[in-house]
Amino acid sequence: MVWLGAPLLLPILFLASDVGAAVDLTLLADLRLTEPQRFFLTCVSGEAGVGRGSDAWGAPLLLEKDDRIVRTPPPWQPPHLARNGSHQVTLRGFSQPSDLVGVFSCVGGAGARRTPVVYVHNSPGAHLHPDKVTHTVNKGDTAVLSARVRKEKQMDVIWKSNGSYFSTLDWHEAQDGRFLLRFPDVQPPSSGIYSATYLEASPLGSAFFRLIVRGCEAGRWGPGCTKECPGCLHGGVCHDQDGECVCPPGFTGTRCEQACREGRFGQSCQEQCPGTSGCRGLTFCLPDPYGCSCGSGWRGSQCQEACAPGHFGADCRLRCQCQNGGTCDRFSGCVCPSGWHGVHCEKSDSGDWADGGVSAPVGALG
Ligand SMILES: *[C@@H]1O[C@H](CO)[C@@H](O)[C@H](O)[C@H]1NC(C)=O
Ligand SMILES: *[C@@H]1O[C@H](CO)[C@@H](O)[C@H](O)[C@H]1NC(C)=O
């Protein structure tokens, strides 16, 4: 059997992983490590799949600071890039706090599927701090970037987009200790890196953001946005160009319907969070239009807070709505008693649909 199976199976696996699927690439940062000497970024690719560790896929993973928009003083010494096979790279050896501030990107995948993943790092000592760093919105939505005051200065605040002047807010315009930038009916060209800085303050004291505007309205994809998204579950985001769901860390499946085991991530749950505290403290950045989030079960600006009861998923953005005696697990959602299954334990194993079958998308974006 093996003799017959193996030669047939190989080309199929190659094909399956090459058909326009979103690239399996994750850029991780441990937000608890605030000292530059200890901070590091890791980029992991599940792309090698069959030949994991081999060089079969050609182009290597790249991981570097992108100083085209956020320019910081040159490092005393350049950080060090370490490779583990072809599927993992780590960037470490930063020397001063400003080395960490700004935009980092990891590029992976082969040929036409080569894709960047972007992470934006904010200084813990900045005057202004983003309430949320990465925002993914649909075309036509209202986007709001919110910079929270951490060290007050009685000065105006300058917003920049992609490093160029965008607008000014008078210091009296702070609402609830926050300076807001609103984009009603936002359009894809507004995507980019944004910053809020007090006038005359160092750019290092800025709040940095990334805005990702999907090319289509909610629930749509394709050229002309004529196609309907599959209804991505658990906070998965529908890719505007190929209609696939980019699943949050900790979820898998074509509609992100399945939770990985606790502490696991990657498109087939093949990766494991390093260390003993699971995914606590880690931010995960995935290919656009997903952006970045905490791992499943964690929330907060440093991804260190566990979800409140009844909440689960990446950034704890989802609410359990368990039926038939299911209980809420903060990593995976409803855990169903025997005899029941489905996202809300709404389906009976005996085949009788308890409430008519198809469950509504949970926290689907687009
Ligand atoms: C390198 O990757 C392998 C899995 O392929 C993993 O077991 C090992 O821990 C990694 N080494 C480091 C230093 O991360
Ligand atoms: C920022 O730069 C990106 C990439 O070059 C571009 O697609 C986007 O439209 C720019 N956004 C703004 C607001 O200038």
Which residue's C-alpha comes closest to atom 13 of ligand 1?
Answer: 84
Q: What pLDDT is attached to residue 59?
A: 80
User: How far does residue 62's CA lie from ligand 2's centre (Å)?
Assistant: 22
Return the C-alpha torsion angle 22, 26, 27, 33, nearest 10. 150
Q: How far is the CA of 181 from the centre of ligand 1 (A)?
A: 42
Q: What is the 3 state secondary structure string of the chain?
A: CHHHHHHHHHHHHHHHCCCCCCCCEEEEEECCCCCCCCCEEEEEECCCHHHCCCCCCCCCCEEEEECCCCCCCCCCCCCEEEEECCCEEEEECCCCHHHCCEEEEEEECCHHHCEEEEEEECCCCCCEEECCCEEEECCCCCEEEEEEECCCCCCCEEEEECCEEEEEECHHHCECCEEEEEECCCCHHHCEEEEEEECCCCHHHCEEEEEEECCCCCCEECHHHCEECCCCCCCCEECCCCCCEECCCCEECCCCCEECCCCEECCCCCEECCCCCCCCCEEEEECCCCEEEECECEECCCCCEECCCCEECECCCEECCCCCCCEEECCCEEECCCCEECCCCCEECCCCECCCCCCCCCCCEC
Residue 241 burial by Cβ neighbours in a 10 Å radius (0-12, 13-18, 19+): middle
Per the listing, tokens 């790279």 go with 89
Q: Which residue of 137, 162, 195 sits with most ligand 2 atoms within 8 Å of its CB, as the best mutation to test the pocket?
A: 162
Task: For the chain, 366 residues long, give each residue's pLDDT as a single digit of tens.
Answer: 334 334 444 333 333 444 456 899 999 999 889 899 999 999 999 985 444 444 455 688 999 999 999 988 888 889 999 999 889 999 999 999 999 999 999 999 888 889 999 999 999 899 999 999 999 999 999 999 999 999 999 999 999 999 999 999 999 999 999 999 999 999 999 999 999 999 988 889 999 999 999 999 999 999 999 999 999 999 999 999 999 999 999 999 999 999 999 999 999 999 999 877 889 999 999 999 999 999 999 999 899 999 999 999 999 999 999 999 999 999 999 999 999 998 899 999 887 554 444 444 444 454
Residue 47 lies in a domain: yes
What residues flank ligand 1, with Cβ below 6 Å? 53, 84-85, 88
Q: For residue 309, is it within any domain?
A: no
What per-residue confidence (pLDDT) applies to 14? Answer: 39
Q: Which atom of ligand 1 is nearest to the CA of 42?
A: 14
Residue 29 lies in a domain: yes
| Residue 296 CB coordination number (10 Å) | 32
Nearest CA to ligand 1 atom 12: 84
Q: Residue whose CA is closest, atom 1 of ligand 1? A: 84
- Residue 193 included in any domain: yes
Long-range contacts at 355-359 (CB < 8 A, ≥ 24 apart) = 355/323
Q: Residue 90 CA: which ligand 1 atom is closest?
A: 14
* Residue minimizing CA distance to atom 11 of ligand 1: 84
Q: Using alpha carbons only, what angle is made at residue 331 by residues 298 and 255, rounded to the nearest 5 degrees?
A: 110
Count structural domains, the chain.
1
- With b meaning 16 or more CB within 10 Å and e meaning fewer, what string describes 10-31? eeeeeeebeeebbbbbbbbbbb
* Rounded (5°) CA angle 108-195-190: 65
Report which protein residue has its CA nearest ligand 2's atom 4: 192
- Residue 363 within a domain: no
Confidence (pLDDT) at 112: 83
Question: How much distance in Å is there from the Cα of 192 to the middle of ligand 2?
Answer: 5
Q: Which structure tokens are listed for 205? A: 């004291």
Query: Which ligand places an atom closest to the C-alpha of 288?
Result: 2
pLDDT given for residue 200 in this prediction: 86
53 CA closest ligand 1 atom index: 5
CA of 57 to the centre of ligand 2 (A): 30
Q: What is the pLDDT of residue 58?
A: 65
Cα of 64 from ligand 1 centre, angstroms = 20
What backbone phi and psi angles, to 5 degrees, belong to 6?
A: -60, -50
Which CATH number fits the domain that encloses residue 19? 2.60.40.10
Structural domain boundaries, residue 166 = 1-213
Domain annotation covers residue 340: no
Q: Give distance in angstroms: CA of 191 to centre of ligand 2.
A: 6
Q: What are phi and psi of 175, to 5 degrees?
A: -115, 120
Residue 194 lies in a domain: yes
Which protein residues are within 6 Å of ligand 2, measured from CB?
A: 161-162, 189-192
Distance 102 CA to ligand 1 centre (A): 27
CB 226 within 8 A of CB 252: no
What's the distance, CA 189 to chain centroid? 20
How many whole angstroms from 2 Cα to the centroid of ligand 2?
52
Q: Contact 111/14 with Cβ under 8 angstroms?
A: no
Closest CA to 57 of 98, 108, 123, 6: 108
In a domain, 119, yes or no: yes
